Amino acid sequence: MSIKVYALEDCPFSIATVNLLKQINPNVEIVKVKRSEKDEVKKLIDHPTFPCTKLILNDNNVNIGGNDIIEFLVNSSSDLQKICSSDKSDFKLLVAKISVKTKLSRRNLCNFYNALFNK
């Protein structure tokens, strides 16, 4: 399980996402995308904007989202820790709040948290 970020060169949102994630986990994989390649890469990664953060689970790539979602998830890391270390019935309201904002399942939220924080 790992995290991969497709970051557009000279894009302030891509730079912010890369810097934030690298502070937490220096092993986050960064794919630098040249502006001349951006339309082709957008089709390849099936995401309309940059940056695009993916959770890599074996052969399955889960789209986590752009800078706004990454900032939200990092700022919610203490809540994610509670969610991921508890019984499924605990913290249902918290899971619902984060899932609505990110459109990610509890499993994907926990997988992202675990990959980012090397759990």
The residue extents of the domains of the chain are 2-116
22's tokens: 């690298």
Q: What is the pLDDT of residues 89-99, one digit of tens each?
A: 678 888 888 99
Q: How many residues comprise the chain?
A: 119
pLDDT at position 59: 82
Contact (CB, 8 A) for 80 and 113: yes
Q: What are phi and psi of 67, to 5 degrees?
A: -60, -40
The partner residues of 7 in beta bridges, in order of sequence, read 32
User: In the CATH hierarchy, which top-level class contains the domain 2-116?
Assistant: alpha beta
Q: What is the pLDDT of residues 15-54, one digit of tens each?
A: 999 999 999 999 999 999 999 999 999 999 999 999 999 9
12's tokens: 């302030």
Q: What is the pLDDT of residues 108-118, one digit of tens each?
A: 999 999 999 98
